[in-house]
């Protein structure tokens, strides 16, 4: 015991010295990042994101050229105290402006949104670069179309049920606004979905705004296993509140039912039932939920537009709205490879190398729907 006595002051001094040294290091790092924040505060599109990422270095030259009309915090909205909204760099802000122009000029469809629409997603847990990049592609779409992206950063319910709880929260908030200003439709979009065609407005998937389609409240699609709830659109109304309430309460009221894929299975079961099914329109898988080609050359063939003739009909190709990495092995790496590749792909409508344009098909779909003549092929998209 006694030998330890003389050591104590030396250890204390050593700890103190180390402490001062590291504090200095820490201090200089903080002041560095604070500077970065201050520089960007003026042009931040949304509160809270400032300082959480440091993408700003690459594009400091553009800060003062962002038009004031785009300088708002209403476009990208995160929910909860945790900051999970990916940064929206000046490079992306500029991309939003230039793509807005090239889309309007070259896309063979109307690029302006015709309804009040928004995107919703969740980004809980430790940030993952692949998801950040995918969410940024969604945020870019919102910025181009002057809509909004809503991202939940907290857990409101366990596992994938969190999504349903969040959509209820969004719906109820919107329903408390006057009907003339609330959102009309929301697209739920998983964070493993990359938006490929930022030109296509979300409104373009919706039925015409006429009475014949008033009863449609939900637009879904199936993959090979049935309903895929990775991307779908729903109307902001009481029906949707009822639906999501019912899904959220499913386990309580039907505890014996096996839910293989949690909330997705519950949703699939419920929307097939008589009370709900007439308000649901199932549309082709690839309209807004195409899956990536899995072969090793998928990046090259997408970039070059050299997809093989036998590329399966539901696989993403140029012109498609989005690519969803549902259940793809090594998803994080694949998604990062795709986002990096996409950084070097020009607007497909400007280059004129789109391999699919669903515009005509969407129109025919709703015409057939109205006349009661929808075929199975129109619904599934399978040729
Ligand atoms: C996109 O272009 C339209 C008209 O060309 C304009 O009104 C709108 O503000 C633009 N939006 C962005 C994000 O640049
Ligand atoms: C380094 C950098 O970010 N340069 C950008 C400056 O702004 C122009 C647009 O005005 C971009 O094209 C450059 O990439």
Q: Where are the domains of the chain?
A: 5-380
Q: How confident is the model at residue 56 (pLDDT cuts 50, 70, 90)?
A: very low
95 close to ligand 1 (CB < 6 Angstrom): no
Query: Which has the higher per-residue pLDDT, 66 or 96?
Result: 96
pLDDT at 8 over 80: no
Which pLDDT does position 195 carry in this prediction? 98
Cα 65 to ligand 2 centroid, rounded to whole Å? 10
Of 102, 146, 201, the residue with max ligand 1 atoms within 8 A of its CB, to mutate for a pocket test, comes to 146
100 CA distance to ligand 1 centroid (A)? 6
Return the pLDDT at 9. Answer: 62
Determine the atom of ligand 1 nearest the C-alpha atom of 69: 9
What is the reported pLDDT for 198?
Answer: 97
Whether the per-residue pLDDT at 10 is higher than 90: the answer is: no
Protein residue with least CA distance to atom 13, ligand 1: 144
Least confident of 43-52, 198-207, 236-245, 267-276: 43-52
Residue nearest ligand 2's atom 4 by CA? 59
Q: Is 100 in the pocket of ligand 1 (CB under 6 A)?
A: yes
Going by alpha carbons, the residue nearest to atom 6 of ligand 1 is 100
Confidence tier at 11 by pLDDT (50, 70, 90): low
Integer Cα distance of 173 and 27 in angstroms: 42
Q: Give the closest ligand to the alpha carbon of residue 97.
A: 1
371 lines ligand 2 (CB under 6 A): no
Q: How confident is the model at residue 98 (pLDDT cuts 50, 70, 90)?
A: very high
Residue 35: predicted pLDDT: 32
Q: What is the pLDDT of residue 305?
A: 94
Q: Is the CB of 62 under 6 A from ligand 2?
A: yes
Pocket perturbation via mutation, ligand 2, pick of 43, 54, 59 by most ligand atoms within 8 A of CB: 59
For residue 123, report the distance from its CA to the centre of ligand 1, in Å.
28
For the chain, the average pLDDT equals 87
Query: Comparing 22-36, 158-172, 314-328, 332-346, which segment has the lowest mean pLDDT?
Result: 22-36
Q: What percent of the chain has pLDDT over 90?
A: 80
Can you give the pLDDT at residue 18? Answer: 58
pLDDT at 248 over 70: yes
pLDDT reported for residue 74? 76
Kindly report the protein residue whose alpha carbon is nearest to atom 5 of ligand 1: 101
Q: Say how many Å lie between the CA of residue 323 and the centre of ligand 1.
A: 25
pTM of the model: 0.81
Which residues 6+ apart lie within 8 Å of 138 measured at CB? 119, 121, 149, 189, 193, 195
Q: Does domain 5-380 have CATH number 3.90.550.10?
A: yes
Q: Which atom of ligand 1 is least distant from the CA of 145?
A: 13
Average pLDDT over residues 334-343: 96
Which of the residue ranges 32-36, 236-240, 369-373 would you say has the lowest mean pLDDT?
A: 32-36
The stretch 13-35 carries a mean pLDDT of 48
Q: Which of 43-52, 184-193, 261-270, 289-298 has the lowest mean pLDDT?
A: 43-52
Whether residue 23 is predicted with pLDDT greater than 70 in this model: the reply is no
CA nearest neighbour of 192 among 267, 48, 292, 304: 292
Query: Which atom of ligand 1 is nearest the CA belonging to 143?
Result: 13
According to the model, what pLDDT value does residue 39 have?
32
Instruction: Assess whether pLDDT exceeds 70 at residue 3.
Output: no
Residue 285 pLDDT class (50, 70, 90 cuts): very high
């Amino acid at each position: 015991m006694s030998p330890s006595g003389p050591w104590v002051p030396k250890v204390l001094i050593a700890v103190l010295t180390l402490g001062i040294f590291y504090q200095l290091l820490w201090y200089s790092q903080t002041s560095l990042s604070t500077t970065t924040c201050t520089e960007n505060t003026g042009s931040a599109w949304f509160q809270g994101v400032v300082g959480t990422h440091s993408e700003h270095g690459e594009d400091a030259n553009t800060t003062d050229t962002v038009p004031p009309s785009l300088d708002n915090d209403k476009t990208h909205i995160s929910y909860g105290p945790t900051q999970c909204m990916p940064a929206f760099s000046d490079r992306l802000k500029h991309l939003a402006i230039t793509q807005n122009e090239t889309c309007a000029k070259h896309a063979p469809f109307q690029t302006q949104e015709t309804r009040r629409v928004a995107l919703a997603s969740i980004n809980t847990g430790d940030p993952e670069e692949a998801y950040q990049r995918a969410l940024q592609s969604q945020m870019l779409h919102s910025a181009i179309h002057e809509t909004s992206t809503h991202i939940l950063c907290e857990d409101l319910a366990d596992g994938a049920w969190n999504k349903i709880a969040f959509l209820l929260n969004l719906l109820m908030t919107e329903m408390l606004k006057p009907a003339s200003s609330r959102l009309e439709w929301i697209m739920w979009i998983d964070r493993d979905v990359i938006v490929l065609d930022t030109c296509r407005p979300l409104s373009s998937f919706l039925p015409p705004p006429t009475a014949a389609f008033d009863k449609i409240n939900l637009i879904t699609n199936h993959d090979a296993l049935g309903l895929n709830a990775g991307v779908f659109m729903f109307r902001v109304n009481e029906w949707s509140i009822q639906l999501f309430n019912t899904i959220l309460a499913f386990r309580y009221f039907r505890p014996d039912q096996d839910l293989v894929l949690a909330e997705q299975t519950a949703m699939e079961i419920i929307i097939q039932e008589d009370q709900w099914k007439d308000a649901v329109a199932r549309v082709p898988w690839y309209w807004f939920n195409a899956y990536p080609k899995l072969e090793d050359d998928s990046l090259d063939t997408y970039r070059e537009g050299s997809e093989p003739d036998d590329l399966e009909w539901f696989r993403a190709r140029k012109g498609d709205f989005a690519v969803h990495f549902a259940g793809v092995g090594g998803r994080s790496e694949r998604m990062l490879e795709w986002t990096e590749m996409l950084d070097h792909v020009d607007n497909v409508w400007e280059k004129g190398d789109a391999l699919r344009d669903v515009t005509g098909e969407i129109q025919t779909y709703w015409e057939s729907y109205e006349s009661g003549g929808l075929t199975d092929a129109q619904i599934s998209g399978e040729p």
